[in-house]
Structure 1
């Protein structure tokens, strides 16, 4: 009898555990390691929470989580195209390009990725299978037509923003984003803009919205209809998101408005530090004066920088007492000083966690900025494009960064910046203050991501979280109809008043003329 009861209890617990398991489709189609790091961390976290996760991306997980279920649908060939040296742009040459150019450049990139994923045989095989999901999590990154997947699987849609709240997601959930203090991600402004910057930001905001609605969305809708001819129009699918997970936090990003279905989970991808490889550990442990870590991320090839840029950096680095780790994409670095160690890959998070790290030289990517705040390391930023310039401007405003443009580098300027960052304790104190803010949270960001994903599944899309503004056409949202009505009323009243005044004036004039005649 005792064993029967134990067996029944075990079966009941197994049933309850399986009942909590949901099937989750996660789509991160961009062939960029920084994007995949975020998607993979989210997928692993959900799998380890006991869910059945399917991850669509150009990458393959070599060490899948032991808990839950995890599988990859690999967009083969995407990485080969990305790594083709003949097709890789030189971002150093693009650094001074007008941000208005990037509107149209991103259109092209987005349309290409959207069509390629829809057409990929591995993805088509998934679509044609009988498999069903409980929720779709989609990276929102110039791929709006992919929102049709929630319609296809008849599930709630969760969007993931790799760069926090921005113009690509704000309008989709009715989130206010005043251009008076919220700069666009392509501009190198912080939230305290002067008059000229606010003019540029407003013009860019208008241009970006016109581009999205008149050029990009129609192109995305055309691609959508090619593969899902019976699906609703993108103008309907675009505003069906139940939740937006934001790779942001107030310790890193500016404080801006959030509607109820926007959730900050920035920092969720940062892992507890692991033991460094033996040679790297010895290098850092023996650096009595400290270590400087230099990385321009996963998308920029540092070997593409000009000789003058390279010399302007290497000269000052070679004169320092500190050792330097430089993530370099080739086997040799011309003019490399003895205190500089190069490698094509470094465990960035583990290096930033080492007590001997003194400074991080970075391109200003959001992942790098988040990780340096998490570990409390000041930065020297060389931003090139995208959100990097805004991230660097924000970091400089918050007092833990000095920003320099590659086009303006000289040995004197780099030397001066390095000396300030290494010798002025204020930079480290400011970033440590930010680090404490990031760590002082009631719930771990990964637990928050898991909770809200399960919440959306439990409550069938959680429609109660949506604000009414998302259902309003743009002219109603901006109250242009009300403003027009008020202006017409004022004009109408003015005209009526003018007619009345003229009649009174004419009547009095006629009376006066009659009195004169008499």
Structure 2
């Protein structure tokens, strides 16, 4: 009996081991939306029976994890990084409404923070031992720097799935050996759409090469840390390339421009969205009191409503007052508004629950990727005002897909907000094209969320339990730059053309060439004369010419229009042949 019990326990343990993986979800606290996206993936895998641990490489201490449904979360910070270091970034310390998408100074500051946290962690034997003892089968990593590749190699994690809360960036394509055409594929975090004019293509090329510089700057910065600590150490980008099976992107066909892809790139946009719940009495009463519907206004977690410039806030509030038949729910302190009866401020809003209700007609948003997915899921058209990061790219694609009207934070006025709202809600009771496009997208995407969640669980299980999935990779890692772009082939073809031309003009005597050309000219003259003779023979055999003389030509031309045309002025005196 004891032997049988042990056998049963061993069998159960074996089954558990086969079906349950130890998974590490590695995030960097750049912003709450990134952690929410990774937390959503972790929640899917946790519900699938896996043991999930979230490890947060702390950049911004203000990013919270209260709503992350993962049991074990480890936050790691460095004493080398002051608590207020992240707040010195331009988009945090200055007015974000006056900051462009990404300033190069912010990139270097962000890399400096990551570098110091990485340096501390590489020399922290305790945390390295904790991670090593956990015996993780798989790590899901959002790529902001190269330190995770080295740490995961040192603690023995064999496989990696990259996850990005944005779309595909230069770094992702580089690690997959996939070079996309810069002529029509806009770089992430630019304002470019799918139809790029000359100066746009010029900017796109410059931005891609700037991204390449940032890629290698970050790589070598982190590489030196591991060399100083361990001596000879594998290249961090090569470790990523060796271990990556899949890339999960927070996009779908309505939130990213059409571009080349691979079977290892999986679009999972919208799958991590929370399940909507019924509204509480407060929000339900607001929606019920609206004559024509409710409009939701939220600019995400990065923008604090109290820091919004007064002229922008006034432009929106004055515009909202022009639509008394609509109620406006605005994310902000509840004491912010005492003037407009149709505007309701709330410090916290259940965004998904409101969008799913059906009574919200328009969503005014910063065009964060998660917000766009939530609006699309329930067919709510949007008005976007991008603030920072990838939001410019998202807003342009949303506009091109037809479900969003775009505003510019630098030029926003009351008149433009009014124009945007009228365009999206439609006039004279007519449904707008934006609403039709949003509802069409919702119909197309309907039912995809459960299937994508199942696919995430399946792919994680495959990646964590199988050897390297080399069949998913491009067979291009052995090619150098010249071979990748077929430059050697084009050079050979060009050389062959020049060789033939040289032989023709240099080695063939001029007299022989002249005789050859004269022969061809003679042949062309003979062919031309034969053609003219055939035409004259056909012309002389026409019965109308014999009966009408010179007028036969005119008669013949009019005859093609019908017999009645023979009575026209050009055929006077002509007779029909018997």
Shorter-chain TM-score: which interval?
A: 0.7 to 0.9
Q: Write out aligned runs for 1:181-260 (5 A).
A: 181-213=184-216, 215-240=217-242, 241-260=244-263
Q: Is the 8 A contact 1:291 1:323 kept in 2?
A: yes
Residues 118 and 37 (structure 1 numbering): CA distance in 2 closer, same or farther, change over 3 Å? farther
- Please show how residues 65-104 of structure 1 align to structure 2 within 5 Å: 70-75=71-76, 81=84, 84=87, 88-95=93-100, 102=103
CA distance 1:51–1:82, shift in 2 (3 Å): farther
- Which residue of 2 is the match for residue 382 of structure 1? 385
Match of 2:28, SS state, is coil
SS of 2:375's partner is helix
Provide the rounded CA distance (Å) in 2 between the counterparts of 1:268 and 1:79.
Answer: 36
Once the two structures are superposed, the pairs formed by residues 97-246 of structure 1 within 5 Å of their partners are: 102=103, 105-119=106-120, 125-129=126-130, 130-131=132-133, 132-141=135-144, 143-152=145-154, 153-213=156-216, 215-240=217-242, 241-246=244-249
CA distance in structure 1 between the aligned counterparts of 2:82 and 2:340, rounded to whole angstroms: 33
Which of 430, 436, 461 lines up with 2:437 in the alignment?
430
* Structure 1 partner of 2:53: 54
Equivalence for 1:323 = 327
1:250-329 aligned within 5 A: 250-320=253-323, 321-328=325-332
Aligned counterpart, 2:400: 397
What TM-score, normalized to structure 1? 0.85
Change in CA separation of 1:64 and 1:195 when aligned onto 2, cut-off 3 Å: closer
**Structure 1 partner of 2:475:** 468
Per-residue deviation, 1:484: 4.1
Which structure 2 residue ranges, 5 or more long, are not aligned?
514-578
Q: Which residue of 2 aligns with 1:439?
A: 446
Contact 2:175/2:237 (CA < 8 Å) preserved in 1?
no
Give the TM-score normalised by structure 2.
0.77
Check whether the contact 1:28–1:39 (CA below 8 A) recurs between aligned residues: yes
Listed as ranges, the gaps of 5+ residues in structure 1 are: 509-518
Give the 5 Å matches for 1:364-513: 364-423=367-426, 425=431, 426-441=433-448, 444-488=451-495, 490=497, 499-500=506-507, 504=509
| Post-superposition offset of 1:10 | 7.9
Give the 3 Å change call, closer, same or farther, for CA 448–234 of structure 1 in structure 2. same
Aligned length: 496
**In structure 1, distance between residues paired with 2:260 and 2:43:** 29
Which structure carries more relative contact order (alpha carbon 8 Å, separation 6+)?
1
| CA distance in structure 1 between the aligned counterparts of 2:85 and 2:297, rounded to whole angstroms | 23
SS of the aligned residue for 1:408 comes to coil
Shift of 1:105: 3.3
Deviation, structure 1 residue 73: 0.9
Q: How far apart in 2 are the matches of 1:302 and 1:421?
A: 24
Report the alpha carbon displacement of residue 28 of structure 1 after superposing the two structures with TM: 0.5
Structure 1 residue 113 displacement after superposition: 2.4
Deviations 1:114-137, CA, capped at 9 Å, x for gaps:
432552599763313341211121
Distance 1:308 1:63, change over 3 A: closer
Mapped contact 2:377–2:442 kept (Cα < 8 A): yes
Partner SS, residue 197 of structure 1: helix
| 1:439 positional shift | 2.0
Following superposition, the deviation at residue 336 of structure 1 comes to: 5.2
1:79 CA displacement = 11
Instruction: Give the CA deviation at 1:259.
Output: 1.1
CA distance in 1, matches of 2:478, 2:352: 42
Q: Is the 8 A contact 2:36 2:68 kept in 1?
A: no
Q: Decide whether aligned partners of structure 1 residues 311 and 64 sit closer, same or farther in structure 2, where only a CA change above 3 A counts.
A: closer
> Can you list the C-alpha shifts for 1:250-288, whole angstroms capped at 9, x where unaligned?
133233222121111111111221133332233223334
Aligned to 2:358: 355
Distance 1:211 1:489, change over 3 A: farther
Deviations 1:290-311 (A, max 9, x none): 2111111111233333222221
